[in-house]
Structure 1
């Protein structure tokens, strides 16, 4: 079980790796691996106690990302959204400095090296 108070939900492993590079605090990063079924989403809610944590949604700026963001917004109305610039489209393709600035804007500690 995880004791981090913050959770970032991303689509894939490459997104997770990119974010882990720039953050400088204990945060659980959950990969959805694309769209979520209702059962899987329920499992995540319980497993990570998402109703009682600061949840951030950071997904790709493409149709699959928009669909997932919409789905997560319904299930997690308290979640905050973090967006990457549409020109990069994918979280994994977003330069570290851009990603760090986006995370910092939501009060997530980042390694100053990337600012």
Structure 2
């Protein structure tokens, strides 16, 4: 599989990355922004991970910081697919594995069936 065939999921933090990685049943690159980022750093991530030419998914928290980051990422990556968690969980890391698995599957990301 070439790098351009590999999907990219953008998350906010390390705990989000670890939780998502645990559920996956395909080779996906997970990129952490570590919260809101400036335009220069975002452009660098886009270039380093070749995001203009890959399937990109945005999975961030449903809080103010996450919404701000989602808006920022949308501007720079208009082709990205947005994955949403239920607002009641607020954070990706606090979302039950089964609910997170359903959200990922709905975006055609392969999940280990034990989480569904």
Under TM normalisation by the shorter chain, which class is it? over 0.9
Deviations 1:15-47 (A, max 9, x none): 001101111100000000011111101111110
Separation in structure 1 between the aligned mates of residue 73 and residue 39 of structure 2, nearest angstrom: 11
> 3-state DSSP class of the match of 1:24?
coil
Unaligned stretches of 5+ residues in structure 1: none
Instruction: Provide the residue aligned with 1:59 in structure 2.
Output: 60
Unaligned stretches of 5+ residues in structure 2: none
> 3-state DSSP class of the match of 2:20?
helix
Give 1:5 shift. 1.8
Q: TM-score, normalised by structure 2?
A: 0.96
Q: TM-score, normalised by structure 1?
A: 0.96
Instruction: Provide the residue aligned with 2:18 in structure 1.
Output: 17
Deviations 1:30-79 (A, max 9, x none): 00001111110111111000000000000000000000000000000000
Instruction: Provide the residue aligned with 2:34 in structure 1.
Output: 33
Instruction: Provide the residue aligned with 1:88 in structure 2.
Output: 89
Query: In angstroms, what is the RMSD of aligned CA positions?
Result: 1.0
